[in-house]
Amino acid sequence: MAIDTVPPLIAAQLNYLVSHCPFSVKVEQMWSGCKNPSLLDRFTLVIPYCLDYIKWDVVYNAMYPLAAPDIIFGPEDENFQPFCGGTDKSSKNSLTEWNSKDPARLLSLIIELRDAYMLYQRRRIGEVDDERLKFEISTMPSREGIEMYLSSGTEKPEEVKFAVPLLDMDLNKLVAGSTWRHPQKICLQVIFPVGKKYSTAPAPRLKLISSAELKALFSIEDFRLPPWLDGMCTAEYLPALEEMLESQIKEAVSSIETRRKFIMALTPHFGRPIETDPVFCRRATFLASSGVFTFLVHFSFSLQFPKQQPTIVLQSSQHFNPHNAPVKSPNLAEYPWSPRWELLEMAERIFDFMAEECLNFKKYCNQMNQQ
């Protein structure tokens, strides 16, 4: 982002928004709307909502940087007019109280508009003539953070999406030393068709979605959702889902310590690692040698360790390919392994395997240099 070509007052607002926003807002593009094309005073914000994104254009005027910006919503939200229709002159919002010298004003405006957008979508869905949806909304638990969205268009059927946050626990505090900036979340996406009549209502489309950073701890893709039984509503589905999810997340946290202990079990054979992932223990690198041949041993651990064995890659410190990159072995996975072994035995078996494999790798490196 060429922030040096943005007028200072606007740049301060934008910088504060990006660095302090409680949700992960992004700037998609910037452009100029004034006679001086080098002054960027307009940009598109990509704002997370209901496990998807909405895009709003923020339009400042570089010639009048003290003025509040205009916000242009998407074409599908032409009826969203959060600050229109009021007759009370004393009513206040982030625009009526605009102060261009306060860098937090744009952040306050976006948060206020996003909250208003949530109410707007809830009101739209409440007006839909669909008994099943009305029942879902009336029985849905009153937990914080539930978002909903009415999707419609000429080329796709009308449907309602719910984003239901799961687990009443602070996921950020589960992993010691994590540097997660934003609160980590796991949500259930529930999608219902609108207006269709069924003798027996089918299960909605379900999908579990997590924060991208959480994948370093727990794989949502490997989690199997419990079945949705006939006649069930979301409020009945959630307890069993959350119980299963909480149990597996606790196992994922405990597996970090298992990986850490395995890396420690390798140190009597390979020495202390020269590089490791100290938080999630997903990788470790050791410096090894066989005679005068020195090489690196890279270990990569899946979230299913020790059910899944580590992937090992050898890297020469003395041989280079034509692109001047160190020669590496293919992924090594065919070596003695059993998840039932003790960690010390796993480490011993790998070291015994490596004593022979390093000779094969040295031959491989020499052959690569001769080509």
The yes-or-no verdict on residue 173 having pLDDT over 90 is: no
Do 33 and 47 touch, CB atoms closer than 8 A?
no
CA 265, 268, 270, 273 torsion-angle sign: positive
Name the DSSP letter for residue 234.
H
Q: Sorting pLDDT into bands at 50, 70 and 90, what band is 199?
A: low
Residue 211 lies in a domain: yes
Which amino acid makes up residue 240? A
Residue 276 lies in a domain: no
Same domain, 153 and 111: no
| Domain stop point among 202, 224, 257 | 257
Q: Which residue has the higher pLDDT, 219 or 92?
A: 219
Q: Give the strands of the sheet with 70-72, arranged side by side.
A: 26-31, 42-49, 52-59, 70-72
pLDDT tens-digit readout, 101-128: 999 999 999 999 999 999 999 999 988 8
Same domain, 112 and 186: no
Residue 274 lies in a domain: no
Cα–Cα distance measured from residue 197 to residue 133, given in angstroms and rounded to the nearest whole number? 12
Cα–Cα distance measured from residue 330 to residue 296, given in angstroms and rounded to the nearest whole number? 13
Residue 273 lies in a domain: no
Q: Sorting pLDDT into bands at 50, 70 and 90, what band is 2?
A: very low
Give the start-end residues of each E strand in the chain: 26-31, 42-49, 52-59, 70-72, 147-151, 159-165, 186-193, 205-210, 275-276, 283-290, 293-300, 311-320, 326-328
Q: Give the strands of the sheet with 147-151, arranged side by side.
A: 147-151, 159-165, 186-193, 205-210
Same domain, 20 and 89: yes
Predicted pLDDT of residue 244: 95
Lowest mean pLDDT among 104-108, 179-183, 337-341: 179-183
| Domain stop point among 96, 120, 144 | 120
Instruction: Give me the chain's average pLDDT, please.
Output: 89
Distances (CA, A) of 174 to 177, 184, 216: 9, 10, 13
Same domain, 233 and 298: no
CA 337, 338, 344, 345 torsion-angle sign: negative
The yes-or-no verdict on residue 3 having pLDDT over 50 is: no
Same domain, 207 and 287: no
Q: Which residues, listed in sequence order, are joined to residue 326 by a DSSP beta bridge? A: 320
Predicted pLDDT of residue 371: 65
Residue 309 lies in a domain: yes
Other C-beta atoms lying within 10 Å of the C-beta of residue 45: 21
Lowest mean pLDDT among 13-27, 80-94, 261-275: 80-94
| Domain stop point among 95, 120, 145 | 120
Predicted pLDDT of residue 243: 94
pLDDT tens-digit readout, 54-64: 999 999 998 88
Residue 26 lies in a domain: yes
Predicted pLDDT of residue 18: 94
Residue 217 lies in a domain: yes
Cα–Cα distance measured from residue 97 to residue 201, given in angstroms and rounded to the nearest whole number? 49
The yes-or-no verdict on residue 141 having pLDDT over 70 is: no
pLDDT tens-digit readout, 235-264: 999 999 999 999 999 999 999 999 999 999
Q: What is the CA radius of gyration of the chain?
A: 28
Same domain, 167 and 244: yes
Q: Sorting pLDDT into bands at 50, 70 and 90, what band is 94?
A: confident
pLDDT tens-digit readout, 278-335: 999 999 999 999 889 999 999 999 999 999 999 999 999 988 888 889 999 999 989 9
Is this model's pTM higher than 0.85 or not? no
Same domain, 357 and 295: yes
Q: Say if residue 306 is preceded by a cis peptide, omega within 30 of 0.
A: yes
The yes-or-no verdict on residue 154 having pLDDT over 70 is: no
Residue-number span of the structural domain to which 133 is assigned: 128-257
Cα–Cα distance measured from residue 344 to residue 158, given in angstroms and rounded to the nearest whole number? 58
Q: Which residue has the higher pLDDT, 84 or 158?
A: 158
Same domain, 133 and 111: no
Looking from the CA of 123 toward its CB, the CA atoms found within 13 Å total: 9
Lowest mean pLDDT among 129-133, 140-144, 174-178, 259-263: 140-144
Percent of all residues in the chain with a pLDDT value above 70, rounded to a whole number:
94
Predicted pLDDT of residue 262: 97
The yes-or-no verdict on residue 4 having pLDDT over 70 is: no
Same domain, 136 and 248: yes
Residue 264 lies in a domain: no
Same domain, 80 and 134: no
Predicted pLDDT of residue 86: 56
Lowest mean pLDDT among 3-12, 215-224, 292-301: 3-12
Same domain, 252 and 318: no
Helix 234-270 vs helix 131-139: angle between axes, to the nearest 10 degrees? 60
Do 50 and 149 touch, CB atoms closer than 8 A?
yes
Same domain, 114 and 69: yes
The yes-or-no verdict on residue 12 having pLDDT over 70 is: yes
Count: domains in the chain: 3
Token pair for 174 = 């589960």
